[in-house]
Amino acid sequence: MSEAPGLFADGKAYERMMGRWSRLAGDVFLDWLDLPKGLRWLDVGCGNGAFTEALIARGGPAEVTGIDPSEGQLAYARTRPGAKSAQFRVADAQSLPFADGSFDAAVMALVISFVPDPAKAAGEMARVVRPGGCVATYMWDIPGGGLPLEPIHKAMHSLGIALPTPPGFAISRQDKMRAIWEQAGLQSVEARVIRITIAYSGFDDFWDSNAVPVGPAGQAISKLAPAAREQLKAHLRQQLPAGPEGRISYEAFANAVKGRVPAA
Ligand SMILES: C[S@@+](CC[C@H](N)C(=O)[O-])C[C@H]1O[C@@H](n2cnc3c(N)ncnc32)[C@H](O)[C@@H]1O
């Protein structure tokens, strides 16, 4: 559908690299949406179900449907005890296999930068949500330096190591996401920044979580020659802020946007 082969295909590795941060940001996002319980939700690009689980625990939904192009991610999502009540199926955000007005709310957590045509995805989400329902998304502010993997991006940049960034990375700016929502015809559009603390027990936890070829940075690391990989590792070990007992913590931040489908 949209991405480099193998990107986000491993649900277990994704959980350690990103799922835990997705849940933390997802909780803040869901509190901000402030929607009543008992709704029919669509989780677009649900991946391995990290956000789906937060949605079920916090949102008290009547039903949740999760869609994602990656069967590998969905296979992991189906094993989550906290997501047993959700229905998962393979589909693309740009062509949702649902009738108009099928849901009360549609959300897209950490996905918009990976969708080739984000405006089409927003239009599709608006179509499948009933009039008056909610359409919302959040994405790490990649151009602003808000990605949990930002230390790796910075280190690669300063060592002159190429990191292929998908064109959609610029979409994660708040003004861009707001414009896409407005162009999709959504009303009462609001945006905010979500800030969370990223915390690792030590450097090995940081490196082993992120140097796996599951996301764009991990894939680039896996292609490095052994000497370049060691150089990057040594650089990061030196640069990362180490607290008591070697613990590492820093802030990540995402932009969120929400709007309402116009009343019929
Ligand atoms: C960073 S992961 C986010 C997963 C999950 N929503 C979360 O919060 O952890 C990005 C997800 O977007 C999915 N994705 C990529 N292109 C997509 C598309 N065209 N339609 C729907 N999902 C897509 C990927 O398969 C991947 O699971």
DSSP string, 169-236: GGGGSHHHHHHHHHHTT-EEEEEEEEEEEEEESSHHHHHHHHSSTTSHHHHHHHTS-HHHHHHHHHHH
Q: Quick one: pLDDT at residue 5?
A: 47
Q: Tens of pLDDT along 197-212?
A: 999 999 999 999 999 8
Top mutation candidate among 68, 92, 117 for ligand 1, by most atoms within 8 Å of CB: 68
CATH code, residues 11-147+166-197+252-260: 3.40.50.150
Q: Tens of pLDDT along 64-87?
A: 999 999 998 999 999 999 999 999
Closest-CA residue, ligand 1 atom 10, reads 111
How confident is residue 2, by pLDDT bands cut at 50, 70 and 90? very low
Query: How far, in Å, CA of 28 to CA of 50, rounded?
Result: 14
CA of 192 to the centre of ligand 1 (A): 21
Q: Give the long-range contacts of residues 217-223, CB within 8 A, separation 24 or more.
A: 217/149, 217/152, 217/153, 217/156, 217/163, 218/17, 219/4, 219/6, 219/7, 220/156, 220/161, 220/162, 220/163, 220/164, 221/152
CA of 64 to the centre of ligand 1 (A): 16
Of the candidates 16, 20, 13, 137, which has an alpha carbon nearest to the alpha carbon of residue 70? 13
